[in-house]
């Protein structure tokens, strides 16, 4: 896609004026680059999902079950009874339009059905038709029949929402499209119509404990590469443990952090920090995934994948759990885990072993965010830094959707960054914190086949990065999310250029002064530190 369409061509297509014909009369324009591939039967079968089959999104016939309509409507009735949010959000929208231009997919594509209100109306029209009295009147009451084309339309647009909740911030009733998309996807999964990009990680995670399907020996060898690099940079051999019983803390992070760049540099940051502290902790190969693609599928699948974290903490006998940098992982841990798989009465209320700080805000789940942990260490003077090692960087910070609008972690990462970096500039106010823009690839949408959609969805974020690049010379975009680390580099390359992406703990790892380290010449990426550029040649 990126080869065919230049950024300016894509930009010139954006038009916020809706077409003349009514939305109900406008069929889906199945544009290549805007829809994912369908789930393969073997993945669905592995996790026990129904109606797995060979099918193709572009085929006229989706090979839906004979009684698909009954399954859908019964499923909908069931969800309306289980979720107050769903029933309420179906009933109370006044279509004021405040949400309309808040969605990054609308801003990027101009497709009116990407206005959050209309995305919800796609399903609301079904709700009215089958679950309200007035809806029997049909179109005049905003209702329509559920047909195969309508189902396909729901599918198309519920996989063009990243569940980022930005619309929910602006809605006067807090109507949350993420919630509606989740319900839509629950229904889609009743009919076996998950996407390939989501169902693959689901099956992997269920079997191997992580989305990437890394088996224990692969995890181990990935760590060995990182440890070799760290030894080269610092002269210190870090020796993490795996599945170790009796450790004080279990550490869980997204598997992407020990799989590929630039996530691995963040992971190297964790490793250095924990080594310097002498933290009594262990990794787990069974609970080797913080992320949870079940969250993008169904509440039951989310629970099944998430259960491994508490189960492993219990088996290993740790006191509490520390979690790495990730967005949706933390929404699940913060707002769902204790409810689904708690109570964690086999763990202790988390206390920092170095500062004695009680993490009161995590006293029930017993799980602490790494930026809370590190910010507390810094505040108590437990760490020494040389921020000059990051002086080649002018850094900005991307607030991840889930940690922003599902938790409210804003100051912790900024406090850490401002300690370990000398040059920090925030992006404009309307694009950060609770108003932050999505990377455009969250909620299971980081599939290669929808690159064009992802570039457009990420436009508002990239545009704000471009602003601080031009104004402040920003060349590093930091974040606390593994999906961000995977998808922001191509996004920024496409729209902005010459801005790299890193996790906050990569910056920590660079600046951290460690006992017994050699004079550092390189940062964690193996690039020469500022002032060390000529060192290689001298030797």
Distances in Å between the Cα of 288 and the Cα atoms of 141, 218, 231, 283 are 50, 12, 24, 7
Our finding on whether 300 is near other proteins (CB under 8 A) is yes
Interface residue with other proteins, options 229, 434, 493, 521 (CB under 8 A): 434
Q: Find where tokens 């109306």 sit.
A: 121
> Taking the CB of residue 527, how many other CB atoms lie within 10 A of it?
13
Our finding on whether 384 is near other proteins (CB under 8 A) is no
The pair of structure tokens assigned to 137 is 């009147």
Question: Which positions from 184 to 203 touch other proteins by CB under 8 A, shown as an x/- string?
Answer: --------------------
Contact set for other proteins, span 386-415 (CB under 8 A): 404-412, 415
CB of 241 to other proteins, least distance (A): 9
Q: Which residues contact 190 (CB under 8 A, 6 or more apart)?
A: 50, 51, 71, 72, 75
Residue number with CB closer to other proteins (110 or 387) = 110
CB of 366 to other proteins, least distance (A): 8
Our finding on whether 359 is near other proteins (CB under 8 A) is yes
Our finding on whether 375 is near other proteins (CB under 8 A) is yes
Taking CB under 8 A as the binding criterion, the range among 114-122, 187-195, 498-506, 510-518 that sits at the site for other proteins is 114-122
Residues 362-386, buried b or exposed e (16+ Cβ, 10 A)?
beebbbbbbbbbbbbbbeeeebebe
Residue number with CB closer to other proteins (2 or 11) = 11
Separation between Cα atoms, residue 421 and residue 352, nearest integer Å: 24
Our finding on whether 319 is near other proteins (CB under 8 A) is no
Our finding on whether 97 is near other proteins (CB under 8 A) is yes
DSSP H or E run through 78: helix 68-82
Spatial contact of 496 and 471, defined as CB atoms under 8 Å apart: no
Residue number with CB closer to other proteins (304 or 520) = 304
Our finding on whether 469 is near other proteins (CB under 8 A) is no
Interface residue with other proteins, options 30, 74, 225, 361 (CB under 8 A): 361
Contact set for other proteins, span 64-93 (CB under 8 A): 80-88, 91-93
Separation between Cα atoms, residue 44 and residue 368, nearest integer Å: 33
Closest CA to 443 of 158, 214, 211: 158
Residue number with CB closer to other proteins (332 or 445) = 332
> Taking the CB of residue 410, how many other CB atoms lie within 10 A of it?
16
Q: How many residues bind to other proteins according to rule CB under 8 A?
A: 117
Interface residue with other proteins, options 40, 129, 152, 165 (CB under 8 A): 165
Query: How many Cα atoms within 13 Å fall on the side-chain side of residue 511?
Result: 23
The pair of structure tokens assigned to 88 is 């309420």
Our finding on whether 340 is near other proteins (CB under 8 A) is yes
Our finding on whether 381 is near other proteins (CB under 8 A) is no
Taking CB under 8 A as the binding criterion, the range among 149-157, 375-383, 506-514, 517-525 that sits at the site for other proteins is 375-383
Our finding on whether 59 is near other proteins (CB under 8 A) is no
Our finding on whether 107 is near other proteins (CB under 8 A) is yes
Interface residue with other proteins, options 2, 11, 50, 346 (CB under 8 A): 11
Query: DSSP strand E in 130-274: where?
Result: 249-252
CB of 13 to other proteins, least distance (A): 11
Residue number with CB closer to other proteins (70 or 411) = 411
Residue number with CB closer to other proteins (197 or 336) = 336
Q: Per-residue DSSP letters for 29-73?
A: ---TTSSPPBPPHHHHHHTT-S------TTSS-----TTHHHHHH
Residue number with CB closer to other proteins (360 or 498) = 360
DSSP H or E run through 197: helix 196-208
Interface residue with other proteins, options 233, 275, 308, 398 (CB under 8 A): 308
Q: Find where tokens 């000529």 sit.
A: 534
- Phi, psi at 351, each rounded to 5°: -130, 135
Question: Can you say whether the dihedral through the CA atoms of 531, 533, 538, 539 is positive or negative?
Answer: positive
Spatial contact of 407 and 165, defined as CB atoms under 8 Å apart: no
Our finding on whether 2 is near other proteins (CB under 8 A) is no
Our finding on whether 141 is near other proteins (CB under 8 A) is yes
Question: Which positions from 209 to 248 touch other proteins by CB under 8 A, shown as an x/- string?
Answer: x-----xxx--x---------------------xxxx---
């Amino acid at each position: 896609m990126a080869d065919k369409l230049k950024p300016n061509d894509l930009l010139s297509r954006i038009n916020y004026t809706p077409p003349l014909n009514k939305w109900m009369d406008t069929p889906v324009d199945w544009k290549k680059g805007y829809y994912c591939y369908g789930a393969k039967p073997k993945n669905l079968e592995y996790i026990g999902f129904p109606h797995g089959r060979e099918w193709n999104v572009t085929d006229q016939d989706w090979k839906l079950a004979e009684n698909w309509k009954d399954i859908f409507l019964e499923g909908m009735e069931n969800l309306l009874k289980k979720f107050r949010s769903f029933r309420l959000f179906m009933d109370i929208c006044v279509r004021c339009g405040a949400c309309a231009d808040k969605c990054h997919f609308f801003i990027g594509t101009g497709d009116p059905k990407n206005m959050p209100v209309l995305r919800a109306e796609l399903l609301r029209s079904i709700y009215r038709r089958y679950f309200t009295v007035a809806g029997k009147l049909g179109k005049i009451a905003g209702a329509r029949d559920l047909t195969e084309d309508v189902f396909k339309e729901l599918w198309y647009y519920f996989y063009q929402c990243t569940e980022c909740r930005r619309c929910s911030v602006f809605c006067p009733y807090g109507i949350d499209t993420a919630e509606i998309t989740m319900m839509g996807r629950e229904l889609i999964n009743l009919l076996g119509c998950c996407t390939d990009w989501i169902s693959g990680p689901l099956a992997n995670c269920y079997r191997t404990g992580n989305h990437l399907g890394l088996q224990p020996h692969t995890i181990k060898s990935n760590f060995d590469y990182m440890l070799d690099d760290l030894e080269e940079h610092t002269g210190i051999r870090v020796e993490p443990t795996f599945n170790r019983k009796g450790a004080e803390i279990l550490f869980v992070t997204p598997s992407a952090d020990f799989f590929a760049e630039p996530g691995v540099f963040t992971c190297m940051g964790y490793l250095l920090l924990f080594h310097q502290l002498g933290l009594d902790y262990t990794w787990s190969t069974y609970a080797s995934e913080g992320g949870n693609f079940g969250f993008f599928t169904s509440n039951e699948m989310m629970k099944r994948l998430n259960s491994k974290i508490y189960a492993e903490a219990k088996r290993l006998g740790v006191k509490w759990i520390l979690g790495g940098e990730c967005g949706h992982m933390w929404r699940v841990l913060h707002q769902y885990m204790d409810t689904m798989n708690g109570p964690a009465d086999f763990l202790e209320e988390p206390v920092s072993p170095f500062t004695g700080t009680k993490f009161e805000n995590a006293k029930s789940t017993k799980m602490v965010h790494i930026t809370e942990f590190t910010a507390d260490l810094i505040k108590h003077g437990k760490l020494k830094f040389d921020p000059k090692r990051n002086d080649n960087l002018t850094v900005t910070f991307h607030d991840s959707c889930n940690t922003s609008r599902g938790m409210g972690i804003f100051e912790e990462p900024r406090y850490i960054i401002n300690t370990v970096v000398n040059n920090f500039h925030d992006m404009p106010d309307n694009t950060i914190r609770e108003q932050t823009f999505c990377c455009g690839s969250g909620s299971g949408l980081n599939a290669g086949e929808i690159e064009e959609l992802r570039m457009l969805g990420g436009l508002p974020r990239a545009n704000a990065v471009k602003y601080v690049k031009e104004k402040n010379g920003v060349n590093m975009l930091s974040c606390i999310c593994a999906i961000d680390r995977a998808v922001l580099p191509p996004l920024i390359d496409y729209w902005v250029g010459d801005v790299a992406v890193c996790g906050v703990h990569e910056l920590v790892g660079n600046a951290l002064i460690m006992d017994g380290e050699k004079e550092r010449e390189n940062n964690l990426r193996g690039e020469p530190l500022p002032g060390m550029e000529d060192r290689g040649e001298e030797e």
